[in-house]
Amino acid sequence: MQEYGNRRINRREVIRTLAFAGVASVGVNATPAFSGSVKKGGALRIATAFGSNSDSLNPATFTNDFMRSAAFMFGNCLTEIDGNGQVVGELAETCEASDDAKTWIFKLRKGVEFHSGKSLEVEDVIATFNYHRNSKSKSSVRGLLSSVRTIRNDGDHGIIFELNTGNADFPYLVSDCRLIIKPKLSADTINPGEAVGTGGYKIEKFEPGVSIAATKSSNYFKSAQANFDSVEMKVITDWRDRHNALLYGQVDHIDQVDPKLAGLFSGHPGINFLESPGKLHYSFPMRFDVSPFDNANLRLALRHSIDREGLLKAVLHGHGRIGNDHPVSDISRYYNEQLEQRVFDVNLARNLYKKSGHVGPIRLSVSNAAFPVAVEAAWYIKTSVVKAGIDVQVVHQPSAGYWTDIWNKTGWCASYWSARVTEDWMLSDAYGRASAWNETAWRDTESSKQFNQLLISARAELDDSRRREMYHECQKLIHLDSGAIIPVWQNHLHASSRNLMHAETVAGNYVNDGGRLAERWWFA
């Protein structure tokens, strides 16, 4: 989608650009980074750092990059994000919108089939969305869809979405992996746990938190993609085992290369090393609804007692950038570069901590299931904050069940966000009042109320300069008042065998080419 620039433009002008991109998007659309043309065949083996024994094929429960990759193996969304970070059509061939961006019409591609042989119909899309947005739904994407008032069939292979408020980024939102389209059971129901989709691969075996195996679908509508005969993705959370699996030829690709070994992989003659800045950030959320993190002085004391530059050097070995306690990346369009950087200030932190009145240790729950260097980062935080007189007790949690039993429940823990394509999406998912993923429970302060009002206004604003001001203010409010501790951004670090090829441009919105490695890459 084109940049808005500094002028108000007709919304249909933007959508016509999107529609054209959607028609042209099917197939590999970038120059190969390595010699040789795109080839078919081979068995792809991937090792990922992410996964949980609570994972399921129900899209409402997806919480990590293992399930994102799985989703894009067997399913498709109305739109997708390409390697350049642009939204293009996937199951939707075109889309249009009203001038106020409240009404969106998506036209489905014809000839698309589910793995069962059933043709994709408008009713499948409606049932999928209604499953996530109904009043009894526990879907993690329900908050993202809270602005959708009605969904209906336009009678011409199209779906009409009526929103309560305008949303200039709506085509981006429907690319979310949790919104892969499944066959309807009724107008409001799908079989959420059924591994039937329209994607390039059929799921043959799925073990939660362990592995997923799939074979190529014979009726995939993207004939130039899904190039492998089969794909197996294994969850290997231990970085040593994951790295050795690649070095000893047991897998073809790994994500989350340990930063201290980046030099080893980048200089290895049999390995392609890929590093790129992205929107991945590590977070240590403090929940407002769990004591003592309801204390503003304590939260601010912890934020100022962390040596961010030291953490970046010691834990990430420089493979990242300094964070500023808000989730909008420095490579994002509406990044607030004028916001003062929070610094390591022992005296200020000590005074704030005394002012908080808190005594005794503060528990920080961590596991490398959160991110590969989470435990190491937690211990660095412990040694940093003690200089301000703060005692942090690092609590090692088991990897199994971390995302269901610890994250989004415990007062202070380790977390990570692969971020989102747009500012609205990132801010809504992680800090929006209605979001089930509001990991800091930041909902009831005056600043959070102001934030949510700004978020709604910015979502529908078509004046680029005004929209920029709103998102800058949103970042400032999170920085000043929320429970977010975001000390660093990590670059994406991947390593692959030399015979695994990819396009010149690789998506940076999520690891593994935006979760679409199995669809977009190929063997030489």
Which of 192, 226, 249 terminates a domain? The answer is 192
State whether 187 and 208 are in the same domain: no
232: β partners: 45, 213
Q: How far apart are CA 73 and CA 85, in angstroms?
A: 19
Q: How far apart are CA 428 and CA 441, in angstroms?
A: 13
> What CATH number does residue 113 fall under?
3.90.76.10
State whether 376 and 396 are in the same domain: yes
Which of 177, 192, 207 terminates a domain? The answer is 192
State whether 311 and 347 are in the same domain: yes
Burial bucket for residue 368 (CB in 10 Å: 0-12, 13-18, 19+) = buried
- Kindly report, residue by residue over 283-339, the tens digit of the pLDDT: 999 999 999 999 999 999 999 999 999 999 999 999 999 999 999 998 888 999 999
The CA–CA distances, whole Å, from 463 to 228, 306, 430, 468 equal 44, 38, 25, 9
What confidence score (pLDDT) does residue 198 get? 98
State whether 159 and 258 are in the same domain: no
Q: How far apart are CA 274 and CA 513, in angstroms?
A: 11
State whether 49 and 118 are in the same domain: no
The H-or-E segment that residue 272 falls in is strand 271-276
The CA–CA distances, whole Å, from 84 to 361, 418, 477 equal 46, 16, 30
For residue 358, count other CB atoms closer than 10 A to its CB: 17
Q: How far apart are CA 296 and CA 431, in angstroms?
A: 17
Give how many domains the chain has, as a whole number.
Answer: 3
Q: How far apart are CA 371 and CA 315, in angstroms?
A: 12
State whether 349 and 389 are in the same domain: yes
Per-residue pLDDT of the chain (524 residues), as tens digits, is 322 222 222 334 444 434 434 322 222 223 334 545 899 999 999 999 999 899 999 999 998 999 999 999 999 999 999 988 889 999 999 999 998 889 999 999 999 999 999 999 999 999 999 999 988 888 988 888 988 999 999 988 999 999 998 998 999 999 999 999 999 998 778 999 999 999 999 999 999 999 999 999 999 999 999 999 999 999 998 889 999 999 999 999 999 898 888 988 998 999 999 998 888 899 999 999 999 999 999 999 999 999 999 999 999 999 999 999 999 998 888 999 999 999 999 999 999 999 999 999 999 999 988 988 899 999 999 999 999 999 999 999 998 889 999 999 999 999 999 778 889 989 998 999 988 899 999 999 999 999 999 998 998 887 889 999 999 999 999 999 999 999 999 898 999 999 999 998 898 888 999 999 999 999 99
Residue linked to tokens 């415990």:
410
Q: How far apart are CA 251 and CA 351, in angstroms?
A: 51
State whether 81 and 203 are in the same domain: no
State whether 96 and 132 are in the same domain: yes
Nearest to 76 by CA among 192, 228, 184, 196: 196
Q: How far apart are CA 379 and CA 375, in angstroms?
A: 6
Q: How far apart are CA 115 and CA 60, in angstroms?
A: 20
State whether 50 and 157 are in the same domain: no
> What CATH number does residue 271 fall under?
3.40.190.10
Q: Where are the beta strands (DSSP E) in 397-523?
A: 415-417, 488-490, 492-497, 500-501, 522-523
> What CATH number does residue 405 fall under?
3.10.105.10
Which of 192, 213, 242 terminates a domain? The answer is 192
For residue 48, give its domain range.
Answer: 37-74+199-275+492-524
State whether 163 and 247 are in the same domain: no
Nearest to 279 by CA among 325, 329, 230, 239: 329
State whether 368 and 458 are in the same domain: yes
Report the SS3 class of residue 302. Answer: helix
For 313, residues 6+ apart whose C-beta sits below 8 A from its C-beta are: none
What confidence score (pLDDT) does residue 3 get? 29
* CA max distance for the chain: 67
Q: How far apart are CA 455 and CA 366, in angstroms?
A: 31
Residue linked to tokens 């390595």:
34
State whether 263 and 411 are in the same domain: no
Q: Kind of pairing, strands 392-396 and 362-366?
A: parallel
How far does CA 370 lie from the centroid of its chain?
14
What confidence score (pLDDT) does residue 16 get? 41
In the structure encoding, which two tokens stand for residue 411, read together? 């007062």
What confidence score (pLDDT) does residue 36 get? 56
